[in-house]
Structure 1
Amino acid sequence: MASEYKRIEGCIAAYISGNYFNVVEIGIGRNPDVAVWCHEAGLRVRATDIREPSSTSGVETRRDDVFCPDLPWYAGADLVYAVRPGVEMVPALITLARTLQCDLLVYHLGDEVYLDGGERIECGVRLHRYCRASKRS
């Protein structure tokens, strides 16, 4: 089972690193694999969690609450993403991405989706893009 999770994280990281430059993972918890692989691919990576995240090499981490985010810390992100967030977090993630004017990608647990599921992206796993930046540099 662990190898399946690593395959999932690998697919997510490959898609993100091929399409973005400055990313923030929300809810990193104890699984930093996507963030680490994105950093190793040359991206600027930041990550937050409601609990103090573990120090992760090459990834800027901090405790933050997506329901009341410290907006200046997210400045410059072209992507906010979450891996297996609780579906109740998705509205706050959408609000954050819209405020930052960046994309939002979510990898849901199982068949869980929010509303219509947003734009579906097949990259070896199914990602859901709930926000797309109005402009990309």
Structure 2
Amino acid sequence: MWNDFAQYIINNYSNAEKIVEVGAGKFHKVASILEENINSSIVMTDIKPSHGKIIKDDIVNPNLKIYNGSSLIYSIRPQPELMPNLMFVAEKVGADLIIKPFSTDSVHSGKMKLINYKRATFYKVSYK
């Protein structure tokens, strides 16, 4: 499933200058696949960075400079209460937003479109 999720991003954002993952935590498989397959700058953020490649940022009180210039912002399994903040940041910087929720979480936004790509299911909205 993670390869399919990453492949969707590669297929649709290979020309992006910058892609930002919010809430990277300790799971870096998608970012690693992206870094190996596209020339975009892949930026990872988290409120508690697990290693030096992750930039400390709180999406509730974001540093918009981190997100400026990004074509895509994505988040894997964000807490549902953070989804409005993700949408706010994506809209503010004019980026697409992809949210890959836990299978039990729902995304309550009429703006977000459900995408089924191979074995990956996620939500997407464009603010471009």
TM-score by structure 1 length? Answer: 0.83
Where 1:12 maps in the other structure, the secondary structure is helix
1:32-84 per-position Cα deviation (integer Å, ceiling 9, x unaligned): 1111111111232001001023135xxxx211000111111222100000011
Identity %: 27
Q: What does residue 5 of structure 1 align with?
A: none
Q: Which amino acid aligns with 1:39?
A: E
Q: Which has the higher contact order (CA 8 A, sep 6+)?
A: 2
Output the CA distance in 2 between the equivalents of 1:111 and 1:11: 20
Q: What do the CA deviations read for 1:85-119 (whole angstroms, capped 9, x no partner)?
A: 11111000000000011100011101311214620
Moved over 6 A (4+): none
**Structure 1 unaligned residues grouped into runs of 5+:** 1-7
Q: 1:37 aligns with which of 29, 33, 36?
A: 33
Task: Kindly tell me the number of residue pairs found equivalent between the two proteins.
Answer: 122
Structure 2 gaps of 5+ residues are: none
Match in the other structure for 1:52: 49
8 Å CA contact retained: 2:2, 2:120:
no
For the residue of structure 2 that corresponds to 1:51, the secondary structure is coil
1:120 lines up with 2:114 in the alignment: yes
**What letter matches 2:121 in structure 1?**
R
In the aligned structure 2, how far is the partner of 1:26 from the partner of 1:53?
13
Secondary structure, aligned partner of 2:65:
helix
Kindly report the root-mean-square deviation, in angstroms, between the aligned alpha carbons of the 2 structures: 1.4
Candidates 66, 82, 88, aligned match of 1:89: 82
